[in-house]
Amino acid sequence: RYNLFLKGSWRQPNDSTPKAGKWNAFVCILYCHYTNVCLFFFVIWIVGNPSKFRIMTTGHYFSVILQKLEYPKVKGQLVIFGATNWDLIGRKEVPKQSAAFRNLGQNLWGPHRYGCLNDVQVSSVISGPCAAHSLLITTEGKLWSWGRNEKGQLGHGDNKRLEAPKLIETLADKTIVSAACGRNHTLALTEEGTAYSFGENKLGQLGQGNQTDAVLSPAAISYNGQPLVKVACGAEFSMVVDCKGNLYSFGCPEYGQLGHNSDGKFIARAQRIEFDCELIARRVAIFIEKSKDGQVVPVPNVVVRDVACGGNHTLILDSQKRVFSWGWGGYGRLGHTEQKDEMVPRLVKLFDFPGRGAAQIFTGYQCSFALSEMGGLFFWGVTNTSRESTMYPKSVQDLCGWKVRGLACGKSSILVAADESTISWGPSPTFGELVSSPIDGMHRFISHAPFTLSEKNETTKYIEQLLVRSPPAKKWSRSRRKCFFFFLKKGVPRCAKKKR
């Protein structure tokens, strides 16, 4: 794999939507990804449709990656544990109206696999902190979905709930590289940088230019800017990032989570409060910093590299390793030492120091996490609203010294992939999603095989990626914790050589 770094000037360096036509560039360094060696210099001309190329400005260099977007190079097996029957959560028995599901789905107190995925290699698994549906992407870039489906969020053209993963046929001719789940809607991103959406659209969260009850089959969002590289979903809103680092949002603006300096509220007929939803991806234009005395200063040059959404808040990471947050501020989830809602992306001070920036960001339903450049994990917000909230990013001391590779959080349980172990914690009760005994506090397990877990096993399989999901609160308010974990395991190395 190669990256081509082009030094020189484009004909239209400031044009954000370059037109098809001739491009020229002068000096080019062919840079080998694996050996970190510059191989040679030469001069190239690019003729053709620029939209085929991803263009990013990195300092005074332009880098053109003559490749389509890539999906993770993981080849894994999907493993599930936790509660799997929505109707059983918070109840002793499945209610009468859901009798058809009575014999389906137990709480799984250990990792299990889906039979239908025996021959399927998985590169990534996706859900959201308020979703009750899940997605997986195979190593061929095919998207599968399963779970609840009242609004067609599974993309199969109907609203039948699915107990096991099923290929989304209408996207089968596309190569999907990533996806995101909102409460009742889904976004999928193709390797060409086009986003498809399906599911609930009452608040415009599908970005298709209108508000409809539900869209049962995938349709492209209405957007004609630069190719997209990231998608994320909150409960009833969505975010996309283009290859130039511009952030766009659409859907429900209720708590300012869209970042357009408004909560969209207006009084409609009969004194009813309604919301002016964004129906088409709209660029988030302003990023700010607030001083202690409330003075607001705009922060220029924010190039968005990653975005993560909680239920009603959003977090971004920019190219300078800064973190911004906005939306619902309750319980300190924004990390600004106050609970006010923010209508515009606001800088999180703690990560705004050279050498102490953030490397990765994650969100739970009402909380946020960042992994610092130095490797420390920070947490803010709450996982249990009857306990104290963390109002600003605080280091998770128990994980000092661990190399955190991934993190997932639903409503209250947290799962961390660190070194070659998986660490989980969260308040009780649980439904098996923490795997070992559900006790308050943190505990550790090492996972090696799909169905057995024991300490200190030298097998090299380990959990590569993970996520947690919690069904939405309203319907199951009786239950206090509802979480699901999906683990994606790295495949067994094919021929581990024995030492003589």
Chain residues that interact with ligand NAG, rule: CB under 6 A: 132, 148, 150-151, 183-184, 200, 208-210, 212, 219, 222, 235-236, 254, 311-312, 328, 330, 365-366, 384, 386-387, 412, 427, 448-449, 452, 454, 457, 459, 472, 475, 480-481
CB of 321 to ligand NAG, least distance (A): 27
Kindly state the smallest distance separating residue 305's Cβ from ligand NAG, in Å: 25
CA distance between the termini of the chain: 34
Least gap, CB of 234 to ligand NAG (angstroms): 8
For residue 437, which phi and psi values (nearest 5 degrees)?
-55, 130
Query: Is the bond leading into 450 cis (omega within 30 degrees of zero)?
Result: no
Give the count of alpha carbons within 13 A of 431, CB side only.
Answer: 30
Closest approach of Cβ 21 to ligand NAG, in Å? 29
- Give min distance, CB of 44 to ligand NAG, in A: 39
Nearer to ligand NAG, 10 or 198 (CB): 198
Rounded least distance, CB 260 to ligand NAG, Å: 17
Query: Residue 231, Cβ neighbours under 10 Å: how many?
Result: 24
Cβ distance to ligand NAG smaller for residue 4 or 188: 188
Q: 375-388: b or e for each residue (b if 16 or more CB lie within 10 Å)?
A: ebbbbbbbbbeeee
With respect to ligand NAG, which residue has the nearer C-beta, 32 or 439?
Answer: 439
User: Residue 186 and residue 182: Cα distance in Å, rounded?
Assistant: 6
Nearer to ligand NAG, 76 or 311 (CB): 311
CB of 53 to ligand NAG, least distance (A): 27
Angle made by CA atoms 225, 251, 243, in degrees to the nearest 5: 25
Q: Phi and psi at residue 492, in whole multiples of 5°? A: -70, 135
Residue 55 or residue 126: which is nearer to ligand NAG going by CB?
126
Query: In this structure, are residues 338 and 391 in contact, taking their beta carbons and an 8 Å threshold?
Result: yes
Nearest to ligand NAG of 151, 336 (CB atom): 151
Q: Which is nearer to ligand NAG, 236 or 318 (CB)?
A: 236
Q: Dihedrals φ, ψ of 229, to 5°?
A: -125, -15
Amino acid 108 reads: L
Tell me whether residue 349 or residue 411 sits nearer to ligand NAG (CB atom): 411
Q: What are residue 64's phi and psi, to 5 degrees?
A: -115, 120
Which is it for strands 313-318 and 323-327: parallel, antiparallel or unpaired? Answer: antiparallel
The separation between CA 416 and the C-alpha centre of its own chain, rounded to angstroms, equals 15
Q: How far apart are CA 493 and CA 474, in angstroms?
A: 44
CB of 196 to ligand NAG, least distance (A): 11
